[in-house]
Amino acid sequence: MREAVDAAVGGHASSHNAAGKGDAGNAFADGHDQASRSLLTGAAKLATALDDVADRMALSAYTHAAAEWASSGLAGDPPGYPVPTGSQSTTFGSIPAMHGGTGHLPPGWDLIQMVMSFVEYPDADTDEVRRTSTVWTTLGEDLARIQASIVDDILEPLSSVTAPDIAVIYAAVQPVIAYGRRLSKLPVEIAQFCQKFADLAEEVSQFIVTVLEQLLVAVVAEEAAGVLLTICSLGASDFLANAAAVAEALGAGKRIVTFIATFYDRVVAAVNLCTGSVRGLLDIAPDLEGGGALSKAAFVTVKATVGVSKAQSSEAARTWSSTVATWTWVSWLT
């Protein structure tokens, strides 16, 4: 799990300056930053919880083995059941902010700037945004695979065990399993969000390019009076002195501003949908780090004297041996 998340973090190394300038680009970048931070925080919490549960399962296995060891009249600690020393909390690196744009402007944008200097061209790098989407998709597939092949079945070895602490263990571990299921869906939500933004950014870019092409034709006709003249040969003062050309630019600018405003509204709707999904997946999660269902006391079995019969203890010890091996593997995978 750590390897998969670290790969996703590294996959965003070139994602800065991809959202494009302007309010819509900033809204997308802010939403993406919020969602990615929540995902990384949730992944770190889950990895830490899995390590913690593995440690506590091993501790509980030790107490069951010690019960059998003592009931057989043997002294000392049971062989093959070391008491875990505890794991460190997991943290992941940060993902670069996507604020900023490419700086690439289409022909004719300078005319819009002459009459509407406040308008910013939404110069999003949609190729990079789509590549970012594939990074999230890959992470979602990796987390779903780990969840289905490892985490969902983690309690299966205990299905036939009868012991006083089984119910407590089930109650503590099942929220972790449920949290993992919710978390594995989150990268897909962010990937779809990135794809939606890229679609919208390409739509607004194509609209602006079309409007500018029409503007250039109209302005050249006004300025050249039928003579072939490139827009590069027009000085700002010459252009602004031509009332008809300015009127054409203002008309084009108003169309562009209106479309950009709609673009912004649609991006904000996509942001709200994505961040709402993030909150829905993570806000209802249990407290996985200390206290609550995963209190360490929940996993500590009173050594050898809690009414566990010798037969129960033997069966528990054998099953715990398998369970500890499974959880050690899970802990390594995280």
Return d(Cα 240, Cα 247) in angstroms, integer. 10
Return d(Cα 247, Cα 206) in angstroms, integer. 22
Flag whether pLDDT at 322 surpasses 70: no
Mean pLDDT of 175-182: 87
Share of the chain above pLDDT 90, in %: 39
Mean pLDDT of 307-326: 45
Burial of 138 per CB tally in 10 Å (0-12, 13-18, 19+):
middle
Domain encompassing residue 89? 2-103+123-199+275-333
pLDDT band, very low/low/confident/very high, at 292 (cuts 50, 70, 90):
very low
144 domain residue, yes or no: yes
pLDDT band, very low/low/confident/very high, at 286 (cuts 50, 70, 90):
low
The pLDDT tens digits of the residues spanning 257-269 come to 999 999 999 999 9
Number of domains in the chain: 1
Flag whether pLDDT at 299 surpasses 60: no
- Give the tokens for residue 46: 């889950």
CA-based nearest residue to 108, from 240, 179, 203, 213: 213
129 domain residue, yes or no: yes
CA-based nearest residue to 92, from 17, 155, 12: 12
**160 or 126: which leads in pLDDT:** 126
Strands (E), the chain: none
222 domain residue, yes or no: no
The pLDDT tens digits of the residues spanning 222-247 come to 555 433 344 444 555 555 556 777 88
Share of the chain above pLDDT 70, in %: 74
Mean pLDDT of 319-327: 46
**23 or 309: which leads in pLDDT:** 23
Flag whether pLDDT at 290 surpasses 50: no
Q: What is the mean pLDDT of the chain?
A: 79
Flag whether pLDDT at 137 surpasses 50: yes
In this structure, what are the phi and psi dihedrals at residue 89, rounded to the nearest 5 degrees? -65, 145
Per-position DSSP letters for 88-127, written without gaps between them: PPP--PPPPP--S------TTHHHHHHH-TT-------HH
116 domain residue, yes or no: no
The pLDDT tens digits of the residues spanning 67-105 come to 888 888 888 888 887 776 777 788 899 899 999 999 999
Flag whether pLDDT at 136 surpasses 80: yes
pLDDT of res. 107: 92
pLDDT of res. 239: 59
Q: What is the largest CA-CA distance in the chain?
A: 109
pLDDT band, very low/low/confident/very high, at 187 (cuts 50, 70, 90):
very high
pLDDT band, very low/low/confident/very high, at 330 (cuts 50, 70, 90):
very low
Flag whether pLDDT at 154 surpasses 50: yes
pLDDT of res. 232: 47
Flag whether pLDDT at 303 surpasses 90: no
Q: Which long-range CB contacts under 8 A does 268-276 form with residues at least 24 apart?
A: 268/24, 268/27, 270/28, 270/31, 270/193, 270/196, 270/197, 270/200, 271/27, 271/28, 271/30, 271/31, 271/193, 273/193, 274/31, 274/35, 274/189, 274/190, 274/192, 274/193, 275/31, 275/34, 275/35
- The model's pTM is 0.77
pLDDT of res. 328: 42
204 domain residue, yes or no: no
pLDDT band, very low/low/confident/very high, at 221 (cuts 50, 70, 90):
low
284 domain residue, yes or no: yes
pLDDT band, very low/low/confident/very high, at 169 (cuts 50, 70, 90):
confident
